[in-house]
């Protein structure tokens, strides 16, 4: 039961994650003024959409498993 709730929570996080937090998932090593720096890169629209789709998928699977568990079929 805890695992089902965790799946729903991860899906909810992926759907509602702010775009600014996605900057952290794409850190780039850049060479600037003779030094290497770690700088975030703006996430692409494809990446943002994939996070939303993945989150929706996790929510759907979690809700499905939760309903099956309540009905005693799982």
pLDDT, tens digit, for every residue of 15-39?
A: 777 666 666 666 666 777 777 777 6
Tokens describing residue 38:
């770690």
**Can you give the residue range of the structural domain that contains 10?**
2-71
- Tell me which H or E stretch contains 32: strand 27-32
The pTM of this model reads 0.62
pLDDT at position 9, please? 82
The residue among 67 and 26 whose pLDDT is bigger is: 67
Instruction: Please give the tally of structural domains in the chain.
Output: 1
């Amino acid at each position: 039961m805890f695992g089902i709730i965790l799946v729903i929570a991860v899906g909810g996080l992926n759907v509602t994650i702010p775009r600014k937090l996605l900057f952290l998932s794409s850190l780039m090593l850049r060479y600037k003024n003779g030094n290497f720096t770690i700088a975030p890169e703006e996430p692409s629209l494809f990446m943002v959409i994939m996070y939303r789709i993945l989150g929706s998928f996790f929510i759907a699977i979690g809700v499905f498993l939760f309903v099956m568990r309540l009905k005693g079929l799982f």
